[in-house]
């Protein structure tokens, strides 16, 4: 059970406070409710670009990192399809430095031609190094548009095309900031050595004067039900073949979400899981194999990904996966196997909540999808899942017509 208190400023900023006196530090997590799904199809990669721009200096602070490091703090950030998340830890006695830094860049980010150009080049280089010139780097750039035809999940956080960032104008960048980087589109979580009275005092001092922005209106196109199997075959300069099979699944708020997540754990969570035991260890068909869900807020994907063992074709590998899929559709998971996976899931969640920084990030995320209070109900939802529900879920989503398969073949050397 994570205990916390909450309040909201007049400008709409939601603040959650979790006190943990066992640490001399405080974690500040600010989640902006903007991700790659909020971008225009012709201007993708903006949310990720802003993750970089937010460290490029604000009106009164030319360098974000220098004063934070001087105060003994550390920071980082990440962007995905749904959110952009900034987090830091700092000694309690220097906490006001964090409020000063974060409020200044929320109120008035410094937009200069130089800062935009510097961060633009950083993102372009990341695009090239991690996605274009990296072995298997373009997998998601192929798999996502294969699975999604209308929803903006069809492009990666880095962007759909490098030209979108290369051609981004200053006015377009400023407009993105004005739309999404507002107190009423943000959630602040403070965790660690701080109480709610101190938090309220700092928030009123540093954030209350930041004006609210217009409420973000989301009207994202809904992905149509897939009615036929999709297949894409590519050749790349990589050491080994790889196979990816994606199935559409429910959104994060659907009651079926936890069932689907637990199903992925039954199939692939550690050396005792089905896929590893059967296809890696016993039959030696795969060098590595995994099954997981994307965990997106809107309807996501259930993914099987693996690299066949030496001498095993992609077609043989695909057939083996489908054989295991059929088993979970035809036979009920035993109570022993189900209980084992539930115990592992629960211990993983409890272990993940030990860190006060992890608590801060989790509370912000739950507040985004529903409300922070739901964090304390999650284990109960998994505990209630039955073997029959897992079987019905497998039958529902694991169909050929709901599959998108990527055959990622290593180029053969020319003799």
The CATH number assigned to the domain with range 230-410 reads 3.30.830.10
Return averaged pLDDT per consecutive 10 residues of the chain, 415 residues in all.
Answer: 96 98 97 97 94 88 93 96 98 97 94 89 93 93 97 95 93 94 98 97 98 94 96 96 98 97 94 92 96 97 97 97 97 95 92 90 97 95 97 98 98 70
Maximum Cα–Cα distance across the chain? 74
CA 227 centroid distance within chain:
27
- Residue 414: the pLDDT is 57
- In our burial notation (b when 16+ CB lie closer than 10 A, e otherwise), range 85-113 reads bbbbbbbeebbebbbbbbbbbbbebbbee
- Residue 114: the pLDDT is 87
- Residue 354: the pLDDT is 85
SS3 of residue 243 by DSSP: strand
- Residue 115: the pLDDT is 86
- Residue 166: the pLDDT is 93
The CATH 3.30.830.10 portion of the chain extends over 5-206, 230-410
Per-residue pLDDT reduced to its tens digit, 357-414: 999 999 999 999 999 999 999 999 999 999 999 999 999 999 999 999 999 999 987 5
- Cα–Cα distance between 240 and 291 in angstroms, integer? 19
Instruction: Give the Å distances, CA to CA, from 244 to 231, 250, 301.
Output: 10, 19, 12
- Which among 57, 36, 102, 50 is positioned nearest to 75, based on CA atoms? 102
- Residue 260: the pLDDT is 98
SS3 content of the chain, % helix, strand, coil (to 5): 45, 20, 35
- Residue 269: the pLDDT is 86
Provide the token pair at 115: 């800062």
- Residue 56: the pLDDT is 84
- Which among 91, 99, 54 is positioned nearest to 69, based on CA atoms? 91
Provide the token pair at 217: 């209106």
Q: Which DSSP letter does residue 256 get?
A: T
- Say yes or no: domain 5-206 is CATH 3.30.830.10: yes
- Cα–Cα distance between 304 and 163 in angstroms, integer? 31
């Amino acid at each position: 059970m994570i205990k916390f208190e909450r309040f909201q400023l007049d400008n709409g900023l939601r603040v959650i406070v979790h006190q943990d006196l066992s640490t001399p530090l405080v974690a500040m997590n600010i989640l902006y409710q903007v991700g790659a799904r909020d971008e225009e199809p012709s201007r993708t990669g903006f949310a990720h670009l802003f993750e970089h721009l937010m460290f490029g200096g604000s009106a009164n602070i030319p360098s974000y990192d220098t004063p934070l490091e001087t105060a003994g703090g550390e920071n980082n950030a990440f962007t995905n399809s749904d959110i952009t998340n900034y987090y830091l830890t700092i000694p309690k006695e220097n906490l006001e430095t964090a409020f000063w830094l974060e409020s200044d860049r929320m109120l008035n980010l410094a937009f200069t031609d130089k800062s935009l150009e510097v961060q633009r080049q950083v993102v372009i280089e990341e695009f090239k190094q991690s996605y274009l010139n990296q072995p298997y780097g373009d997998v998601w750039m192929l798999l996502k548009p294969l699975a999604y035809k209308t929803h903006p999940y069809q492009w990666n956080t880095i962007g759909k095309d490098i030209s979108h960032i290369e051609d981004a104008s200053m006015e377009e960048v400023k407009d993105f900031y004005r739309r999404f980087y507002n107190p009423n589109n943000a959630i602040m979580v403070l965790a660690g050595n701080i109480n709610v009275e101190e938090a309220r005092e700092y928030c009123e001092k540093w954030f209350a004067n930041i004006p609210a922005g217009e409420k973000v209106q989301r009207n994202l196109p809904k992905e149509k039900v897939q009615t036929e199997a999709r297949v894409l075959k590519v050749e790349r300069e990589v050491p080994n073949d790889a196979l990816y099979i994606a199935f559409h699944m429910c959104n994060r708020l659907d009651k079926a979400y936890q069932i689907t997540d637990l199903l992925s754990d039954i199939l692939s969570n550690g050396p005792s899981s089905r896929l590893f035991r059967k296809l890696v260890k016993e039959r030696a068909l795969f060098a590595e194999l995994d099954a997981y869900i994307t965990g997106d807020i809107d309807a996501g994907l259930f993914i099987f990904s693996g690299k066949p063992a030496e001498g095993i074709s992609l077609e043989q590998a695909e057939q083996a996966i489908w054989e295991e899929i059929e088993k979970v559709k035809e036979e009920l998971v035993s109570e022993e196997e189900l209980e084992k996976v539930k115990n592992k899931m629960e211990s993983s969640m409890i272990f993940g909540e030990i860190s006060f920084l992890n608590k801060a990030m989790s509370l912000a995320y739950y507040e985004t999808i529903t409300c922070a209070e739901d964090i304390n109900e999650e284990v109960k939802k998994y505990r209630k899942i039955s073997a029959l529900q897992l079987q019905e879920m497998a039958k529902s989503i694991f169909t050929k017509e709901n599959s998108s398969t990527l055959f990622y073949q290593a180029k053969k050397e020319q003799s």
